[in-house]
Chains A and B, each alone.
Chain A
Amino acid sequence: GIQVEQSPPDLILQEGANSTLRCNFSDSVNNLQWFHQNPWGQLINLFYIPSGTKQNGRLSATTVATERYSLLYISSSQTTDSGVYFCAGNSNSGYALNFGKGTSLLVTP
């Protein structure tokens, strides 16, 4: 399957700060998603973004499919943004989403 690398692995921010999370893929993907796993373990869909740019409130994401990477931007972070952020994608021939190991984010007051 596709290898997914996420960086940074851990991030601590003060409330109000901005951050960029990165996801690199070993091969082309045709389904790329970003998730937030909250402290209760629930996986929340953030973006379905195989290419281009999308924005949803303080969050935005950009995928450059030709260069096999995606970025998640978090602006004006809040304590409720804490948790683990995963990106995942599947290849043209695969069904499974291949997940990275995640970026663990802690936003402090």
Chain B
Amino acid sequence: NAGVTQTPKFRILKIGQSMTLQCTQDMNHNYMYWYRQDPGMGLKLIYYSVGAGITDKGEVPNGYNVSRSTTEDFPLRLELAAPSQTSVYFCASSYSSGTGQETQYFGPGTRLLVL
């Protein structure tokens, strides 16, 4: 049981380039999330998904896109990278039965530097 895995661990992008951050979970969780963490701060939600085919915006969605074609995978797409997107990106997953969410489990993070 690997939990939540993310690739790559670290990436340097030039301004204007695009890339996809990969996230996979093997816990059969229905909910998945993408957060970003800026230096000295807590995490902020970018996008989330409550099931395959269903996604919605979080607090800071501008400049990002997501898709959820399977229960396991939740990739995050950066289009036209900007220096403001330099951050650490965390993917997370949890199970919700409808009576409330359970523990969110986090991946190891992807460090992104945009120059």
A residues with CB within 8 A of B: 1, 4, 30-31, 33, 35, 41-43, 45, 48, 86, 88, 90, 95-97, 99-102
Contacts and interface: CB of A to CB of B under 8 A. Distances in A.
Interface in B24-55: 31, 33, 35, 40-45, 48, 50
Q: Is the interface of B mostly helix, strand, loop or mixed?
A: strand
A100 B42 contact: yes
Instruction: Please indicate which of the listed interface residues B31, B33, B43 has the most CB atoms of chain A within 10 Å of its own CB.
Output: B43
Contact of A43 (B50, B59, B106): B106
Nearest to B111: A41
B40 A1 contact: no
Contact of B59 (A1, A33, A48): A1
Given A88-B42, A95-B48, A31 B88 contact: no
Contacts of A30: 100-101
Contacts of B56: 95
Contacts of A41: 88, 108-109, 111
A90 B105 CA distance: 14
Contacts of A43: 90, 106, 109
Contact of A101 (B40, B45, B48): B40
